Amino acid sequence: MDRLTNTVRPYAWGSTTAIPQLIGAEPTGEPQAEMWMGAHPGAPSRTGRGPLNEVIDADPTAELGEQAVAKFGPRLPFLLKLLAAGAPLSLQVHPDLGQAKEGYAAEEAKGVPIGAPDRNYKDANHKPELICALTEFDGLCGFRAPEEAARLLEGLGVDSLKPYADLLRAHPEEAALREVLTAILSADRDEMAHTVTEAAAAAQRLGGAYEPYAGIAHHYPGDPGVIAAMILNYVQLQPGEALFLGAGVPHAYLNGLGVEIMANSDNVLRCGLTPKHVDVPELLRIVRFEATDPGVLRPEASADGEEVYDTPIDEFRLSRFVLPEGAPAHDLTAATPQILLCTAGTVRAGDIVLAPGGSAFVPAGEKAEVSGVGTLFRATVVA
């Protein structure tokens, strides 16, 4: 078992206080957006044996187990994060596996540099995600029903939003959502900026259901994504609740601290709330234009106290243990690789003592007994 030393990414949207408060450190004044735990080459965790990606590369079968290597190849198939949003992240969508392979191959054939700002596909993998709230956590997830979205837009009393409300009512669901998102993202930038300014002022004045959009517009004045956000479901998670974000579902995180796990991929197509590249035609090819319930997940407890967040994919499996005083030790030994993350209290994993924010990598088959008083998240795969 290896104690992990992890990199914190200073993205501009990150909270300056949430991660420092969790780990008991003084804030630096700079944003601390994500702490990465895993073997992603962009910021691999460090162990006493070297960077985790190099440790795994040296002997994939020993570290990951035969089952995981056979199913996912010789790499850790997930990335675990602490995510601390102090401002909205970009409104985005992820491709499915087939779309990712196709898009990656096409850009490789065209010779688009992997680091080019207009590159959509950084790899050939999909990027399903799960976010579990540690604090109250606000986000956007999936489309509202067209009629509901139309009423929300009309309620602002902004004349230039009426055509979008009309589009939402003029067609069946899929066509209505497709046409209005296309119209929002294709509108004249100056005209849209004026519309967003008017809408933001109305949202600020009205408050209530409009309050989140006034906050988004404060961070991204004039951005078309502010209007696009209004046709999505607004979700407020309580601690312990989670959202699963599958392929084609537009989403954005707005505020809060959570544990995030995802397939090991960088493939993101952006819809707005960003100064980065927005490829509208490719985005429209990837988005699933259907109204959805966000599907807030609550963990399902097993007899041994493990609380599992059930998702429909195999690259990751996230669960947690809430360990009370006097609880017996749990044997987490498994034939698959694991990362253990403490988010509260003090937890002993083997010979390693984990305080909040502390984490450990457990190779496949390695003895893993945990005890203590606190909260421990367990990340592994379904192999």
Q: And the tokens for 320?
A: 């947690």
CA dist 307 and 318 (Å) reads 9
The answer to whether residues 236 and 136 touch, using CB atoms and an 8 Å cutoff, is yes
Q: Which residue pairs from 164-168 have beta carbons closer than 8 angstroms and sit at least 24 positions apart in sequence? A: 164/227, 168/231
Torsion of CA 311, 312, 313, 316, to 10 degrees: 10
Measured distance CA(320)–CA(306) in Å, rounded? 6
Show the tokens assigned to 224. 């078309």
Catalytic residue set:
270
Closest CA to 225 of 268, 192, 179: 192
Cα–Cα distance measured from residue 286 to residue 378, given in angstroms and rounded to the nearest whole number: 31
